[in-house]
Amino acid sequence: MLIAVPSDTTDGLDSAISDHFGHCAAFTLVTLTDDAIGEVSVLENAGHEEGGCLSPVHLLKERGVGVLLAGGMGGRPLAGFRQVGIEVRSSEGAGTVREAVELHLAGGCPAFGDDQTCGDGDGGCGGHHHHGPETVPIEGKADVRDGRLITVEYEIRDGDGTVLNSSSGTGPMRFIFGGGQVFPAIERALVGLEPGAHVVQAIPAAEGFGERDESRVMEVPRAQLEPGIAVGAAVVAQDQEGRRIPLTVVHMDENVARLDANHPLAGKDVVFDLTVKSVEGIKTSA
């Protein structure tokens, strides 16, 4: 049995559990053999910036994951895991991957229920449970700088002011600053700010979600897709080198499906409206 645990660090069994499924840095994969911990590996999370909230669902399915241990999750990915046959269980109370797996082996991880979902309860990617890295008080100015755990609420708008995405639906962004988990333009806008600070940052397509490339739209036989897939769904393919390619179904009839490998916001100049909610120090191992 292969188990996946959303993680904020890449320290194997000692990794800190991520409290935000959609924004975790990686998934720690643990093989259980005869109820004993076996091989441990780390799988980088591309995040919902590449294929939407269901992208990690397909990624873990491809790797053969049978059980996901999570602290918080939105309703949409929970439904996706159920659809592909991955069992989701609550790791509430565990702080590290080791603790979560041992809790599961002891029968202490109940099935994740609909009433435990976070965000907007309908399509949210993230969560608000706190299972991130162990934090420590900051001596001096609690400003945004490398190595600190940052929580940011956000709205993404187009040039006309239309809201394209926001933390009200997916939960706030929670990331280790300087770790390359967000666009460089966002880090430049946030550096030095303290909790409560608000900033608006315009990001051109080339520095954000990328320029649109029509050559990345392809047609495949409808029969190649799983039954029940609808227009707007996120699917994942692999190229000849085994690299994962997130795709969005943009058209489908009984014979042909058209798939788009561009990010849904590709080609768009966007504006990020950012509010710093917290800045926390992270306990480092001795």
CATH of the domain at 68: 3.30.420.130
Please indicate whether residue 134 or residue 28 has the higher confidence score (pLDDT).
28
Tokens matching residue 29: 């994969």
Do 101 and 25 have their domain in common? yes
Q: Considering the domain boundaries, does residue 222 fall inside one?
A: yes
Question: What distances in angstroms separate CA 233 from CA 64, 90, 206, 222, 261, one per listed residue?
Answer: 21, 26, 25, 14, 12
**Residue 122's pLDDT band (cuts 50, 70, 90):** very low
Do 111 and 140 have their domain in common? no
Please indicate whether residue 233 or residue 49 has the higher confidence score (pLDDT).
233
Q: Considering the domain boundaries, does residue 130 fall inside one?
A: no
Do 110 and 148 have their domain in common? no
CB contact set of 258 (below 8 Å; sequence gap of 6+): 217, 218, 219, 249, 250, 251, 252
Q: Considering the domain boundaries, does residue 29 fall inside one?
A: yes
**Residue 22's pLDDT band (cuts 50, 70, 90):** low
Do 146 and 274 have their domain in common? yes
Q: Considering the domain boundaries, does residue 124 fall inside one?
A: no
Count structural domains, the chain: 3
Q: Considering the domain boundaries, does residue 193 fall inside one?
A: yes
For 203-223, what is the mean pLDDT?
A: 92
CB contact set of 161 (below 8 Å; sequence gap of 6+): none
Q: Considering the domain boundaries, does residue 34 fall inside one?
A: yes
- Mean pLDDT lowest for which of 134-148, 225-239, 259-273? 225-239
Do 197 and 272 have their domain in common? yes
Do 67 and 154 have their domain in common? no
Domain assignment of residue 252, given as a range: 214-260
**Under 8 Å between Cβ of 63 and 29:** yes
- pLDDT tens digits for 166-197? 887 667 887 888 877 788 999 999 999 999 99
- Which of 126, 102, 124 shows the shortest CA–CA distance to 37? 102
CB contact set of 243 (below 8 Å; sequence gap of 6+): none
